[in-house]
Amino acid sequence: MTSAVERLVQVMDQLRSPGGCPWDAEQTHESLARYLLEETYETLEAMDQGDLVALREELGDLLLQIVFHARIAQETEHEFTLEAIAQGVVDKLIRRHPHVFSDVVYESDEQLEANWAAIKATEKPRDSVTEGVPIAMPSLQVATQLMYRARKLDVPPSDGVVREQLRGIIGEVDNDSIAEILIAVVELARERDIDSESVLRAAMHKYRQDIRAREGLDS
């Protein structure tokens, strides 16, 4: 670790120790969850604005959250250190990139992707492609992830009629046309006091059930 990161760990240790800060000392993983989410969104906003000064600050706030959670966990699991967290990431990156860190050679991007998926499957065996898609994510991200993961199972999220109608209306599908469609959908929903986020989340819950049914699993 760099000296600055080591100092950050030391400061957090002092804040959580007797004689430190009462507020920091009473925090838990659960109480900090909303701050982790807020800092993530603030980091994304800095990225969207192209503000590197703000991005550096927000990444620092995210790092603080990681150090905070590591310190809390370490109080009951002594091996749960920032060093151990970083080592886990290092090991994972090396393991998942044999074409970089060993003499493995791939003939195509498809072969690379297939091997990546195979390595992940050995790390985290899963019964369903829906596992690992956090339902707490915004519903658009949930939809994107579920559709991507189910692409080989032939489980369409809709009958495709509305999609093709939209394709005929907007012509070329690009960032601007997709943004216009999404904005229009939200406008239509607001006219009827419909929460677009909740509606899509409910639809994706059903889609998840359909995927698991195709896999022969309980919903």
Residues of the chain with pLDDT under 70: 1-2, 218-219
Beta strands in 2-107, from DSSP E residues, in sequence order: none
The percent of residues in the chain predicted with pLDDT above 70, rounded, is 98
88 part of a folded domain: no
User: Which residues span the domain enclosing 187?
Assistant: 139-214
- 148 and 109 together in one domain: no
In angstroms, what CA-CA distances link 172 with 166, 167, 219? 10, 8, 37
- 27 and 75 together in one domain: yes
Q: In the chain, how many domains are there?
A: 3
36 part of a folded domain: yes
153 part of a folded domain: yes
Q: Domain holding 35: CATH number?
A: 1.10.287.1080
pLDDT at 32: 95
Burial environment of residue 146 by CB neighbours within 10 A (0 to 12, 13 to 18, 19 or more): buried
- 105 and 174 together in one domain: no
Residues in the chain: 219
Would you put residue 132 in left (φ > 0), alpha (ψ -120 to 50) or beta? left
189 part of a folded domain: yes
- 54 and 109 together in one domain: no
Q: Model confidence over 157-201: pLDDT tens digits?
A: 988 899 999 999 888 899 999 999 999 999 999 999 999 999 999
